[in-house]
Amino acid sequence: MSKNNIAQQYNSMVASIEDAKIYDGRGEYNLYECNKCNNYKVTLYKDKGVTPFIMRCKCGGDMMHTKSSKQAPPSYVKVYN
């Protein structure tokens, strides 16, 4: 399969996401908490269909998705995109 074919298939798949009958949480804030060091990270759900369940923490633990909210966190909390 050529690079152009792969690019065409990828672009077609991405274009179909808008019409897909999947959860659309864009604009929500997601909280991830580490099971090892209790660190946390807040992310903004920007792209439909793209929300990780677990992310690696800098301590080596796993940061699990624990909460979603439409309400923005306080201004002192850094939000990752």
pLDDT at 56: 96
Count of structural domains within the chain: 1
**What is this structure's pTM?**
0.72
pLDDT digits (tens, 9 = 90+) for 60-80: 999 999 999 999 999 999 999
Structural domain boundaries enclosing 40? 22-80
Residue 36, domain member (yes or no): yes
Residue 65, domain member (yes or no): yes
Check residue 4 and report its DSSP letter: H
Per DSSP, the residues of 12-79 read: HHHHHHTTSSS---TT-EEEEEETTT--EEEEE--STT---SEEE-TTSSEEEEEEEESSPPPTTS-E
pLDDT higher than 90, residue 49: no
Residue 16, domain member (yes or no): no
**What's the Cα-to-Cα distance from 18 to each of 22, 27, 42, rounded to whole Å?**
9, 15, 24
